[in-house]
Amino acid sequence: MQVMSYGTRWRIPGTAIGPILAGAAGAGVAASGARTVYDLLKYIGLGAAAVVGTGTLGYFLGRRADRKVTTIRIIP
């Protein structure tokens, strides 16, 4: 029988690091490439999607890294 448990050691940093990096990269791209208000709104929308996406991905990668499997063998 196998029992799985999950910790929080990598889940919390994984959730935080991705959006920070995506936000910084998105701000740099928006500052250098936005010529009109519509371009700026487009970059804001794409940046928000990147922040949410990387946060979600970081959460699940951190959860995978925090998984601990304990195998229990019952000897007859």
Let me know: does 72 contact 2? Beta carbons within 8 Å.
yes
DSSP code, position 72: -
Domain span at 7: 2-71
pLDDT value, residue 14: 87
Angstrom distance (rounded) from CA 62 to CA 17? 11
23: amino acid identity, one letter: G
Per-residue model confidence as pLDDT tens digits over 26-57: 788 777 777 888 878 888 888 889 999 999 99
Which residues sit opposite 4 in a β-bridge? Answer: 69
Establish if 76 belongs to a structural domain: no
- Of the pLDDT bands very low, low, confident and very high (cuts 50, 70, 90), residue 16 is very high
Question: pTM for the whole thing?
Answer: 0.73
Per-residue model confidence as pLDDT tens digits over 57-67: 999 999 999 99
Domain total in the chain = 1
| Residue 70 in this model has a pLDDT that exceeds 90 | yes
Three-class SS of 2-43: EEEEECCCCHHHHHHHHHHHHHHHHHHHHHHHCCCHHHHHHH
